[in-house]
Amino acid sequence: MSLFSAPSIHAQSFDSVTHIHSVKVIGKKILIGTHEGLFVYKGPNNMKPIGKERFDIMGLAISGKTMYASGHPGKGSKLPEPVGLLRSDDEGITWKKVSLQGEVDFHFLEARGSEIYGVDAQTNMLLYSSNSGKVWRKVEPNQFSDIAISGQKLGDSFVIQDKKLMKSSGAFADLSPIKTAFPISEIETVGRSLYASSRKSIFKSLNQGKAWKKIYTFDIEVSGLSSSNDLLVAVVGNQIFASEDGGESFK
Protein backbone atom coordinates (compact mmCIF):
# COMPACT_ATOMS: atom_id res chain seq x y z
CA MET A 1 0.00 0.00 0.00
CA SER A 2 1.52 3.26 -1.08
CA LEU A 3 1.27 5.49 1.95
CA PHE A 4 4.65 7.15 2.10
CA SER A 5 4.68 9.29 -1.01
CA ALA A 6 1.04 10.30 -1.10
CA PRO A 7 -0.51 9.47 2.26
CA SER A 8 -4.05 9.25 0.92
CA ILE A 9 -5.71 7.68 3.93
CA HIS A 10 -3.84 9.47 6.70
CA ALA A 11 -6.08 11.27 9.18
CA GLN A 12 -9.13 9.28 8.07
CA SER A 13 -11.13 7.46 10.69
CA PHE A 14 -12.87 4.11 10.84
CA ASP A 15 -15.19 3.48 13.78
CA SER A 16 -13.99 5.82 16.57
CA VAL A 17 -10.30 5.43 15.67
CA THR A 18 -8.57 8.35 13.95
CA HIS A 19 -5.24 8.86 12.19
CA ILE A 20 -5.21 5.66 10.16
CA HIS A 21 -1.71 5.05 8.80
CA SER A 22 -1.98 1.66 7.11
CA VAL A 23 -4.41 -1.14 6.28
CA LYS A 24 -2.94 -4.62 5.92
CA VAL A 25 -4.15 -8.20 5.58
CA ILE A 26 -2.94 -11.28 7.44
CA GLY A 27 -4.78 -14.43 6.38
CA LYS A 28 -8.44 -13.40 6.44
CA LYS A 29 -7.97 -10.66 9.04
CA ILE A 30 -7.85 -6.97 8.18
CA LEU A 31 -5.44 -5.07 10.44
CA ILE A 32 -5.21 -1.32 10.81
CA GLY A 33 -2.16 0.55 12.05
CA THR A 34 -3.11 3.81 13.77
CA HIS A 35 -1.85 6.58 16.02
CA GLU A 36 -3.53 4.68 18.84
CA GLY A 37 -2.04 1.24 18.10
CA LEU A 38 -3.00 -1.87 16.15
CA PHE A 39 -6.64 -2.81 15.54
CA VAL A 40 -8.47 -5.63 13.81
CA TYR A 41 -11.23 -4.45 11.50
CA LYS A 42 -14.35 -6.60 11.75
CA GLY A 43 -16.73 -4.32 9.87
CA PRO A 44 -18.14 -0.77 9.85
CA ASN A 45 -18.05 0.66 13.39
CA ASN A 46 -16.48 -2.54 14.64
CA MET A 47 -12.74 -2.31 15.37
CA LYS A 48 -10.98 -4.06 18.24
CA PRO A 49 -7.54 -3.21 19.70
CA ILE A 50 -4.88 -5.91 19.59
CA GLY A 51 -2.36 -6.53 22.37
CA LYS A 52 -1.35 -4.32 25.27
CA GLU A 53 1.48 -2.39 23.57
CA ARG A 54 0.08 0.95 22.41
CA PHE A 55 2.36 2.72 19.97
CA ASP A 56 1.90 5.02 17.00
CA ILE A 57 2.20 2.60 14.09
CA MET A 58 3.51 4.59 11.13
CA GLY A 59 4.75 1.62 9.07
CA LEU A 60 3.24 -1.87 8.97
CA ALA A 61 4.14 -4.92 6.87
CA ILE A 62 3.14 -8.57 6.84
CA SER A 63 5.10 -11.56 5.57
CA GLY A 64 3.18 -14.81 5.98
CA LYS A 65 2.38 -15.02 9.70
CA THR A 66 5.03 -12.48 10.68
CA MET A 67 4.30 -8.79 11.18
CA TYR A 68 6.72 -5.86 11.18
CA ALA A 69 6.01 -2.37 12.46
CA SER A 70 7.68 0.97 13.08
CA GLY A 71 6.70 4.30 14.58
CA HIS A 72 6.68 6.05 17.94
CA PRO A 73 6.19 4.81 21.51
CA GLY A 74 2.84 5.42 23.17
CA LYS A 75 2.22 6.93 26.57
CA GLY A 76 3.84 4.82 29.27
CA SER A 77 5.67 2.64 26.75
CA LYS A 78 9.22 1.48 27.41
CA LEU A 79 10.00 1.42 23.69
CA PRO A 80 12.67 3.87 22.42
CA GLU A 81 11.93 6.90 20.24
CA PRO A 82 11.64 6.06 17.41
CA VAL A 83 10.89 2.37 17.90
CA GLY A 84 12.93 1.20 14.89
CA LEU A 85 11.82 -2.15 13.49
CA LEU A 86 9.60 -4.36 15.64
CA ARG A 87 8.44 -7.91 14.93
CA SER A 88 5.39 -9.88 16.01
CA ASP A 89 4.82 -13.60 15.47
CA ASP A 90 1.44 -13.73 17.21
CA GLU A 91 -0.58 -11.32 15.03
CA GLY A 92 0.32 -8.22 17.03
CA ILE A 93 -0.36 -9.40 20.56
CA THR A 94 3.32 -9.01 21.51
CA TRP A 95 6.26 -7.27 19.82
CA LYS A 96 10.01 -7.85 19.83
CA LYS A 97 12.78 -5.42 18.94
CA VAL A 98 14.64 -6.32 15.75
CA SER A 99 16.90 -3.41 14.79
CA LEU A 100 17.41 0.36 14.42
CA GLN A 101 15.83 1.24 17.77
CA GLY A 102 16.21 4.96 18.45
CA GLU A 103 17.46 5.47 14.90
CA VAL A 104 14.86 4.93 12.19
CA ASP A 105 11.19 5.81 11.84
CA PHE A 106 9.81 3.78 8.94
CA HIS A 107 6.67 5.37 7.53
CA PHE A 108 6.61 2.70 4.84
CA LEU A 109 7.37 -1.00 5.19
CA GLU A 110 7.01 -3.84 2.70
CA ALA A 111 7.97 -7.44 3.50
CA ARG A 112 7.93 -10.84 1.86
CA GLY A 113 9.90 -13.87 2.95
CA SER A 114 13.18 -12.62 4.42
CA GLU A 115 13.12 -9.37 2.41
CA ILE A 116 12.05 -6.01 3.79
CA TYR A 117 12.02 -2.53 2.26
CA GLY A 118 11.52 0.55 4.40
CA VAL A 119 11.56 4.31 3.97
CA ASP A 120 12.93 6.32 6.90
CA ALA A 121 10.71 9.38 7.38
CA GLN A 122 13.57 11.34 8.92
CA THR A 123 15.92 11.06 5.94
CA ASN A 124 13.60 9.85 3.13
CA MET A 125 16.13 7.07 2.58
CA LEU A 126 15.00 3.76 1.09
CA LEU A 127 16.59 0.86 2.97
CA TYR A 128 16.68 -2.86 2.18
CA SER A 129 17.20 -5.98 4.27
CA SER A 130 17.48 -9.54 2.97
CA ASN A 131 17.64 -11.18 6.41
CA SER A 132 14.36 -10.19 8.09
CA GLY A 133 15.56 -6.79 9.22
CA LYS A 134 18.68 -7.79 11.11
CA VAL A 135 21.05 -5.96 8.75
CA TRP A 136 20.13 -3.08 6.44
CA ARG A 137 21.75 -1.28 3.55
CA LYS A 138 20.89 2.10 2.11
CA VAL A 139 19.51 1.96 -1.43
CA GLU A 140 18.90 5.58 -2.43
CA PRO A 141 16.73 8.57 -1.50
CA ASN A 142 13.18 7.40 -2.01
CA GLN A 143 11.42 8.40 -5.20
CA PHE A 144 8.88 5.57 -5.39
CA SER A 145 5.23 5.61 -4.35
CA ASP A 146 4.86 1.84 -3.88
CA ILE A 147 6.91 -1.36 -3.79
CA ALA A 148 5.70 -4.96 -4.09
CA ILE A 149 8.28 -7.70 -3.54
CA SER A 150 8.18 -10.32 -6.28
CA GLY A 151 9.01 -13.34 -4.16
CA GLN A 152 10.28 -15.18 -7.25
CA LYS A 153 13.94 -14.19 -6.95
CA LEU A 154 15.80 -12.45 -4.12
CA GLY A 155 16.03 -8.71 -4.82
CA ASP A 156 13.26 -8.63 -7.42
CA SER A 157 10.30 -6.31 -6.93
CA PHE A 158 7.72 -4.22 -8.76
CA VAL A 159 7.78 -0.50 -8.07
CA ILE A 160 5.74 2.57 -8.93
CA GLN A 161 7.29 5.89 -9.86
CA ASP A 162 5.16 8.77 -11.16
CA LYS A 163 2.24 6.35 -11.70
CA LYS A 164 4.45 4.15 -13.92
CA LEU A 165 5.33 0.50 -13.31
CA MET A 166 8.91 -0.78 -13.23
CA LYS A 167 10.65 -4.04 -12.42
CA SER A 168 13.53 -3.83 -9.96
CA SER A 169 16.29 -6.45 -10.00
CA GLY A 170 19.08 -6.88 -7.48
CA ALA A 171 17.30 -4.72 -4.90
CA PHE A 172 17.24 -1.64 -7.16
CA ALA A 173 20.57 -2.36 -8.84
CA ASP A 174 18.62 -2.32 -12.12
CA LEU A 175 15.24 -0.82 -13.07
CA SER A 176 13.32 -1.77 -16.20
CA PRO A 177 10.07 -0.04 -17.28
CA ILE A 178 6.94 -2.11 -17.84
CA LYS A 179 4.49 -0.37 -20.17
CA THR A 180 0.85 -0.21 -19.11
CA ALA A 181 -2.13 1.49 -20.75
CA PHE A 182 -3.18 3.06 -17.45
CA PRO A 183 -1.53 4.93 -14.56
CA ILE A 184 -0.91 2.86 -11.43
CA SER A 185 -1.25 4.03 -7.83
CA GLU A 186 -0.89 0.76 -5.88
CA ILE A 187 0.78 -2.56 -6.68
CA GLU A 188 0.42 -5.91 -4.86
CA THR A 189 1.83 -9.39 -5.47
CA VAL A 190 0.00 -12.60 -4.54
CA GLY A 191 1.88 -15.71 -5.59
CA ARG A 192 2.72 -15.04 -9.24
CA SER A 193 -0.20 -12.66 -9.74
CA LEU A 194 -0.02 -8.87 -9.75
CA TYR A 195 -2.83 -6.57 -8.64
CA ALA A 196 -2.82 -2.86 -9.41
CA SER A 197 -5.16 0.01 -8.64
CA SER A 198 -5.73 2.77 -11.16
CA ARG A 199 -8.18 5.53 -10.29
CA LYS A 200 -11.48 3.71 -9.56
CA SER A 201 -10.44 0.32 -10.95
CA ILE A 202 -8.43 -2.75 -9.99
CA PHE A 203 -6.44 -4.68 -12.60
CA LYS A 204 -4.85 -8.13 -12.49
CA SER A 205 -1.88 -9.58 -14.37
CA LEU A 206 -0.88 -13.24 -14.55
CA ASN A 207 2.32 -12.70 -16.55
CA GLN A 208 4.47 -10.27 -14.56
CA GLY A 209 2.73 -7.16 -15.87
CA LYS A 210 2.90 -7.88 -19.60
CA ALA A 211 -0.90 -8.05 -19.94
CA TRP A 212 -3.64 -6.79 -17.64
CA LYS A 213 -7.34 -7.45 -17.11
CA LYS A 214 -9.67 -4.96 -15.42
CA ILE A 215 -11.45 -7.01 -12.76
CA TYR A 216 -13.41 -4.48 -10.71
CA THR A 217 -14.44 -0.82 -10.68
CA PHE A 218 -15.68 1.17 -7.68
CA ASP A 219 -17.73 4.37 -7.66
CA ILE A 220 -14.81 6.47 -6.39
CA GLU A 221 -11.03 6.26 -6.43
CA VAL A 222 -9.18 3.45 -4.67
CA SER A 223 -6.80 4.92 -2.10
CA GLY A 224 -5.30 1.71 -0.70
CA LEU A 225 -4.72 -1.93 -1.65
CA SER A 226 -3.52 -4.86 0.46
CA SER A 227 -3.55 -8.62 0.03
CA SER A 228 -2.88 -12.08 1.39
CA ASN A 229 -3.38 -15.50 -0.16
CA ASP A 230 -6.93 -15.42 1.22
CA LEU A 231 -8.08 -11.84 0.86
CA LEU A 232 -7.75 -8.76 -1.34
CA VAL A 233 -8.68 -5.50 0.39
CA ALA A 234 -9.37 -2.09 -1.12
CA VAL A 235 -9.69 1.18 0.77
CA VAL A 236 -12.24 3.35 -1.03
CA GLY A 237 -13.08 6.69 0.54
CA ASN A 238 -13.69 5.97 4.22
CA GLN A 239 -14.77 2.40 3.56
CA ILE A 240 -12.94 -0.92 3.45
CA PHE A 241 -13.99 -3.56 0.92
CA ALA A 242 -12.79 -7.17 0.91
CA SER A 243 -12.70 -9.83 -1.81
CA GLU A 244 -12.33 -13.57 -1.26
CA ASP A 245 -12.32 -14.41 -4.98
CA GLY A 246 -9.25 -12.58 -6.23
CA GLY A 247 -10.98 -9.26 -6.87
CA GLU A 248 -13.90 -10.52 -8.93
CA SER A 249 -16.33 -9.29 -6.26
CA PHE A 250 -16.08 -7.11 -3.14
CA LYS A 251 -18.24 -6.66 -0.08
pLDDT of residue 223: 94
pLDDT of residue 16: 59
| Contact present, 47 and 15 (Cβ < 8 Å) | yes
pLDDT band of 3, cuts 50, 70, 90: very low
pLDDT band of 207, cuts 50, 70, 90: very high
Tell whether the model's pLDDT for residue 150 goes beyond 70: yes
Distance CA 97, CA 99 (A): 6
* Greater model confidence, 94 or 8: 94
Q: Compute the half-sphere exposure of residue 11: CA atoms within 13 Å on the CB side of its CA.
A: 3
Segment 223-251 mean pLDDT: 95
- Nearest 5°: the CA angle 138, 145, 88 is 65
pLDDT band of 13, cuts 50, 70, 90: low
Backbone dihedral region of 166: left (phi > 0), alpha (psi from -120 to 50 degrees) or beta? beta
Question: Strand ranges (DSSP E) for 44-130?
Answer: 46-49, 55-63, 66-73, 85-88, 96-99, 106-112, 115-120, 125-129
Residue 53, CA distances (Å) to 7, 65, 235 in order:
24, 19, 26
**DSSP conformation class of 12:** -
pLDDT band of 15, cuts 50, 70, 90: low
pLDDT of residue 44: 84
Give the tens place of pLDDT for each residue, 85-136. Answer: 999 999 999 999 999 999 999 999 999 999 999 999 999 999 999 999 999 9
Give the tens place of pLDDT for each residue, 35-66. Answer: 999 999 998 888 999 998 989 999 999 999 99
- Does the pTM exceed 0.95? no
Q: Indicate the domain borders of the chain.
A: 20-179
Distance CA 105, CA 119 (A): 8
For the chain, give the percent of residues with pLDDT over 90: 86
pLDDT of residue 139: 98
Burial of residue 201 (CB within 10 Å: 0-12, 13-18, 19+) is: middle
pLDDT of residue 10: 43
- For the domain spanning 20-179, the CATH number is 2.120.10.80
Q: Which residues pair with 63 in a beta bridge?
A: 66
Distance CA 37, CA 231 (A): 22
Rounded to the nearest integer, the mean pLDDT of the chain is 93
pLDDT of residue 4: 37
pLDDT of residue 45: 82
* Greater model confidence, 176 or 52: 176
Measured distance between the N- and C-terminal CA atoms of the chain, rounded to whole angstroms: 19
pLDDT of residue 14: 59
